[in-house]
């Protein structure tokens, strides 16, 4: 996984988890200042909207790393699979219940999707934290510090060329006068 992909997964997860936790706190734990208030906190609708808008970014980020990271780790039998498999297992009910929660009309189904979404989301957050802690422990145990580069397996890499091909050919031995006799 490239650093850009890693950053995208972490930022998307932070956005979804952060807005979700703040929204849940506002929705279920905050008491409204006014007994006739429609929401418990003035920012509650905004947190819900931010959460709903950030969720597709997480879905995209996980789709981006699915082939190279998730399937790659499952195929080669690398360690840290328990938390990774947990992430994979918790993601589907978390994502599906999040979408079904938005379209559920019947109060019974809505309550059911809320429970599925909250439980699977909390399990997702716990598995993500365990996955990251284990990955850092493995990285430190293998002697890969922050300055060293761990092997990166990506389907493609976006980067600038290491040198200019025109300058490289001008410096080649064929064009160097000191390289030996020429046939002039």
CA nearest 73: which of 88, 60, 93, 55? 88
Q: Mark out the alpha helices in 77-153 (DSSP H runs).
A: 81-103, 107-141
The answer, yes or no, to whether residue 6 has pLDDT greater than 70, is yes
Looking at residue 115, its pLDDT comes to 96
Q: Please classify residue 11 by burial: count the beta carbons closer than 10 Å to its beta carbon, then call 0-12 exposed, 13-18 middle and 19+ buried.
A: middle
Q: Are 15 and 46 in contact (CB under 8 A)?
A: no
Looking at residue 1, its pLDDT comes to 79
Q: Tokens 């980020």 sit at which residue?
A: 61
Within 10 angstroms of residue 39's Cβ, the number of other Cβ atoms is: 15
The answer, yes or no, to whether residue 43 has pLDDT greater than 70, is yes
Mean pLDDT of the chain: 80
Q: Percent of the chain scored above 70 by pLDDT?
A: 74
Cα–Cα distance measured from residue 16 to residue 11, given in angstroms and rounded to the nearest whole number: 9
The answer, yes or no, to whether residue 168 has pLDDT greater than 70, is no
Q: What is the pTM of this model?
A: 0.69
Q: How confident is the model at residue 80 (pLDDT cuts 50, 70, 90)?
A: low
Domain ranges of the chain: 3-157
Within 10 angstroms of residue 31's Cβ, the number of other Cβ atoms is: 8
pLDDT digits (tens, 9 = 90+) for 135-162: 888 778 776 554 444 444 444 445 555 5
């Amino acid at each position: 996984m490239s650093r850009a992909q890693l950053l995208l997964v972490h930022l998307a997860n932070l956005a979804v988890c952060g807005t979700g936790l703040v929204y849940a706190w506002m929705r279920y734990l905050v008491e409204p200042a006014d007994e006739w208030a429609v929401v418990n906190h003035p920012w509650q609708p905004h947190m819900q909207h931010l959460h709903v808008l950030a969720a597709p970014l997480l879905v995209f980020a996980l789709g981006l790393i699915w082939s190279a990271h998730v399937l790659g780790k499952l195929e080669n039998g690398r360690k840290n699979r328990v938390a990774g498999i947990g992430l994979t297992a918790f993601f589907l009910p978390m994502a599906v219940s999040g979408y079904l929660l938005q379209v559920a009309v019947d109060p019974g189904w809505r309550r059911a999707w809320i429970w599925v979404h909250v439980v699977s989301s909390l399990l997702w957050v716990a598995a993500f934290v365990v996955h990251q802690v284990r990955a850092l422990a493995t990285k430190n145990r293998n002697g890969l510090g922050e300055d060293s580069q761990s092997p990166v397996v990506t389907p493609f890499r976006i980067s600038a060329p290491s040198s200019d091909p025109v300058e490289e050919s001008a410096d080649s031995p064929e064009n160097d006068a000191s390289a030996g006799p020429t046939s002039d």
